[in-house]
Amino acid sequence: MNEVSDTHQWTVRVVTAAAGGLAATYVLLGMIALAFLLPLGQTSSAGPGALSALVEHGAGWWLAARWLFLLSAFLGLGLVVGLRRLAPSGREALADWSAAVGGLGFVVVAVDQARLISHVPGLVQAFAASPDRARELSNLSFVNLTDRYGVLTFGAVGLWLLVVSLGCLPGCAPTWLRVAGVLAAAVFLVVAVFEGSWTSVVAATGALTLGPIFFGGLAVVMHRSSEPPATVVVDGH
């Protein structure tokens, strides 16, 4: 019995840490995007236009955002596994399916961000030296990304968020948290459908706003659920 309880407590701690880390990561990403990437025209990851913006203004903040996306992928995988273990009884099949979908999305994020981090600095140098040659290299490199435009990434993670929020959150989750999760899932799915347009940019901003609300709220809820109940002392006199 104690072993089961310890396992549950460790799972709750993993979910709390992963959700809190995701919330903090999304806040930092939002700040970097609004303060640096959008003004510098560095929101895109594909094509010579993206490389020229990195050459002109430097790739420091762009790379910082990629590292944060990579970190968010690993945190997301921990959250997917943890929430699967805490799914309500009787919904195991739905939880398994949603965990597979969410895990796929976060794995794609990790793979593609690692490729961008390893390839783009060299492409920026090549573009600065020879724009025509670098244009050919950039087209070849970005085509080899698993999810070039983020459709699978945002779509899979958004679908996972939607299913989890509607039916697979632990019983301690309040209604407002489920609503926040559905709204966050909606903007993720909008980014997936309208990727490349201004609609997706606006939706991505919404995702970086609603994401921290949901993940931060989940971390707080799970932390409180792990606290032992207060002991009530009754005065015998």
Long-range contacts of 82-89, Cβ-Cβ distance < 8 Å, separation of 24 or more? 82/11, 82/12, 82/14, 82/15, 82/18, 83/15, 83/164, 83/168, 83/169, 83/170, 84/168, 85/11, 86/8, 86/11, 86/12, 86/15, 86/170, 87/168, 87/170, 88/167, 88/168, 88/170, 88/171
Give 133-169 pLDDT, tens digit per residue. Answer: 666 655 545 546 788 777 888 899 999 999 999 999 9
126 and 81 in contact (C-beta within 8 Å)? no
* Residue 44 pLDDT level (bands cut at 50, 70, 90): low
The mean-pLDDT minimum among 73-77, 79-83, 95-99, 154-158 falls in 154-158
- For 158, the token pair is 């958004």
Q: What is the pTM of this model?
A: 0.86
- Whether residue 129 is predicted with pLDDT greater than 60 in this model: the reply is yes
The CA-CA-CA angle for residues 232, 236, 237, to 5°, reads: 130
The total number of residues shown for the chain amounts to 237
Over residues 176-203, mean pLDDT: 81
State percent of the chain over pLDDT 90. 47
Predicted confidence at residue 2, as pLDDT, reads 60
